[in-house]
Amino acid sequence: MTKFIVVASSKGGVGKTTTALNLATALMTFGREVIVVDVNLSTPNVSLYLGAPNVPITLHDVLKHDKKITDALYMHTNGLKIIPASQSIRDIGDVDYDRLASLIKNLSGTVDYVIIDTAAGLGEEAISGIKMGDEILVVSTPDMPSVTDALRTIKIAKQHKKKITGVIMTRAYEDELELKKEDVETILETQVIGIIPEDETMRDALQMRSPVTFTHPNAPSSLGYKKLAAKLLGEKYIESVEKKDNTMDTLLKRLGMR
């Protein structure tokens, strides 16, 4: 049965798209089939992060031209399947969100997981994204403004009777300047099920137009995403990080082969 997981937060720039792409990649390493759908229709990023800004058929075309949702399905060279939205400002206009939701539901039965990357804010676009999920992952950085916005997202999701699977704490330094996992859990009354460290490797991956979990599988953030995937699957994750770090190792890492 296909599970529809929404990655949400009303705060912008906290790592929703990064989480959607890397969680998808991590689930793939556990042998699951996944599609990432970009329902951030006003400022879509999924295809940009994967180096495919222009594709022939987007989610917008599916909505406008009566196409099948699978007509807008693409596969990245790393095997990750995505359904991107259009980058063209021309395409931003009236969107029938109910129709969008039912088109996305048509993906049921095609893969194990559909991961839905949503827009920031709490407008119609963001809320309709939240409504598309069986369960919601709330993304927050460990600081008060972000956690406050996460609380709003959780409240809205609960109003729509959605299951909140947990909070993903992204860009964590885990120092005295930021909120601790326990603080976040107390404020949000929700479990933190993943901690993704602040990781400079993320910039290398962006440059390589591929999720860090694929380009640098042993990077701290990649391990965080793989642990999260394991937790969602109820499987054990055994770290296999090589401790040695010689020149060849470093070179392979830079090339994304480690």
Ligand X SMILES: Nc1ncnc2c1ncn2[C@@H]1O[C@H](COP(=O)(O)OP(=O)(O)OP(=O)(O)O)[C@@H](O)[C@H]1O
**Strand (E) or helix (H) holding 231:** helix 220-233
Provide the mask over 108-127, with x wherever binding to ligand X is found by CB under 6 A and - wherever it is not.
Answer: ------------x-------
Q: Which two tokens stand for residue 167?
A: 């909070």
According to CB under 6 A, which one of 171, 216, 226, 258 is a site residue for ligand X? 171
Q: Does 17 bind Mg ion (CB under 5 A)?
A: yes
Instruction: Answer whether 37's CB lies under 8 Å from 59's CB.
Output: yes
**Strand (E) or helix (H) holding 226:** helix 220-233
Sheet of strand 113-117, all strands in order from the earlier edge strand to the far edge: 74-75, 81-83, 34-38, 113-117, 3-8, 135-140, 163-172, 192-197
d(CA 212, CA 161): 33
178 or 199: whose CB is closer to ligand X? Answer: 199
67 or 181: whose CB is closer to ligand X? Answer: 181
What is the dihedral sign for C-alpha 23, 26, 28, 30?
negative
Chosen from Mg ion, ligand X, none, partner binding at 145 (C-beta under 5 to 8 Å by type)? none
What residues from 191 to 250 belong to the interface with ligand X (CB under 6 A)? Answer: 196, 198-199, 202, 206, 221
45 or 128: whose CB is closer to Mg ion? Answer: 45
**How many residues form the binding site for Mg ion (CB under 5 A)?**
3
12 or 145: whose CB is closer to Mg ion? Answer: 12
What residues from 17 to 76 belong to the interface with ligand X (CB under 6 A)? Answer: 17-18, 40, 43, 45
Q: Does 45 bind Mg ion (CB under 5 A)?
A: yes
Residues 6+ apart with CB under 8 A from 255: none
* Cα of 149 vs its chain's centroid, Å: 17
Chosen from ligand X, Mg ion, none, partner binding at 18 (C-beta under 5 to 8 Å by type)? ligand X
d(CA 87, CA 142): 30
According to CB under 6 A, which one of 6, 8, 15, 223 is a site residue for ligand X? 15
- Where on the chain is the footprint of ligand X (CB under 6 A)? 12-18, 40, 43, 45, 120, 170-171, 196, 198-199, 202, 206, 221
- Where on the chain is the footprint of Mg ion (CB under 5 A)? 16-17, 45
